[in-house]
Amino acid sequence: MKRPYYSFSEYMRNRFQARVQRISVNAGFSCPNRDGTLGEDGCFFCNEKGFSRFVETPLSLKEQIEASREFYRERFHADKFIVYFQNAANTNAGLEQLRSAYDVIRDFPDVVGLFISTRPDCVDDEKLDLIAAYAREYEVWLEYGLQSIHEKTLQAINRRHSLAHFLRAVEDTAKRGIKSSAHVILGLPGETREDMIETAKTLAELPVSGVKLHVFHVLRETRFHEMYKAGGVRVPTQEEYVQLACDFLEHLPPDCVIMRLISNASEDVLVGPEWINQKQKVLSAIDAEFKRRGTEQGTRIAVSRQSKE
């Protein structure tokens, strides 16, 4: 079924004409917002146990890939794979350590891509040059955690980087022919609908190839959990999120790949909202809302460009 947005699975089908599955791995890199370089308390929403299959794993990178590969082959008949360095900041190490970690993909002929999740203040010219070398042979994406373009929000969620870091990282990445994407959280405390649309509009003007959306949710053992218990923050309802997601996508270019539309979280650590784990229901509600509006990804870009003319 044709979605009213450019889904990651559609992008992958167009690119590889095969079923490509992403395999998340934990290379054991640290995050400067946790290891004391910038701070120790981390972003107020972050708990790795919420999303990672390999938190504190004893398995080597190669073993993690082998385990997931077998699983996805059997369960989903996957033909090809992308290795996704997911946990913490996956460019937060010396060049040789990074090279040695990324080189694991060379052991698997059916791995066609390398995806690296990191902070925008954790890349420099040497690291990007290293990653660019893989981009000559593989599908390579750098996924930058941004969450919001608004400095007040970045401070309120304790990111300890600025929009300027993101803008520089995205330009330097694009210059080398590497694709990048932005992680954005919709529904963060203190943000209005207009604030979120401003984030979409800014991304639409940048050389960003994809966006990964998350709904604001609260996990145990986070600062937001403390605030939530004290009644200081609330989480969006499904209906609110559906509206926000459609508003956001309407302001993104039609060729921007939507790498994810709804986050899920391990039930052991999820405080709320519980509906985020009903992915298909949320995706159907987003499709239905686009249909009701008669819009799709990119609709508002055309409208605002026409009104400027």
Binding residues for ligand SF4, rule: CB under 6 A, are: 31, 33-34, 42-43, 46, 88-89, 119, 145
Between CA 299 and CA 253 the distance in angstroms is: 8
In 3D space, the residue among 119, 172, 143, 121 whose CA is nearest the CA of residue 22 turns out to be: 143
The residue among 81 and 224 lying less far from ligand SF4, judged by its C-beta, is 224
For the bound state, the minimum distance from the C-beta of residue 38 to ligand SF4, rounded and expressed in Å, comes to 9
The residue among 145 and 298 lying less far from ligand SF4, judged by its C-beta, is 145
Between CA 250 and CA 11 the distance in angstroms is: 18
| Distance separating the N- and C-terminal Cα atoms of the chain | 35
For the bound state, the minimum distance from the C-beta of residue 42 to ligand SF4, rounded and expressed in Å, comes to 3
Cβ–Cβ < 8 Å for 140, 115: yes
The residue among 29 and 290 lying less far from ligand SF4, judged by its C-beta, is 29
Cβ–Cβ < 8 Å for 128, 172: yes
Q: Where are the beta strands (DSSP E) in 4-53?
A: 20-25
For the bound state, the minimum distance from the C-beta of residue 131 to ligand SF4, rounded and expressed in Å, comes to 18
The residue among 46 and 200 lying less far from ligand SF4, judged by its C-beta, is 46
Between CA 212 and CA 197 the distance in angstroms is: 15
For the bound state, the minimum distance from the C-beta of residue 65 to ligand SF4, rounded and expressed in Å, comes to 21
Which amino acid makes up residue 172?
D
For the bound state, the minimum distance from the C-beta of residue 1 to ligand SF4, rounded and expressed in Å, comes to 33
For the bound state, the minimum distance from the C-beta of residue 261 to ligand SF4, rounded and expressed in Å, comes to 19
The residue among 88 and 101 lying less far from ligand SF4, judged by its C-beta, is 88
Q: Is 253 exposed, middle or buried (0-12, 13-18, 19+ CB in 10 A)?
A: middle
For the bound state, the minimum distance from the C-beta of residue 30 to ligand SF4, rounded and expressed in Å, comes to 9
The residue among 30 and 295 lying less far from ligand SF4, judged by its C-beta, is 30
In 3D space, the residue among 169, 166, 163, 158 whose CA is nearest the CA of residue 39 turns out to be: 158
The residue among 82 and 88 lying less far from ligand SF4, judged by its C-beta, is 88
Cβ–Cβ < 8 Å for 116, 89: no
Between CA 21 and CA 69 the distance in angstroms is: 9
For the bound state, the minimum distance from the C-beta of residue 214 to ligand SF4, rounded and expressed in Å, comes to 10
Q: What single-letter DSSP state applies at residue 41?
A: S
The residue among 43 and 111 lying less far from ligand SF4, judged by its C-beta, is 43
Q: Where are the beta strands (DSSP E) in the chain?
A: 20-25, 80-85, 111-118, 139-147, 179-186, 210-215, 218-219, 257-260, 270-272
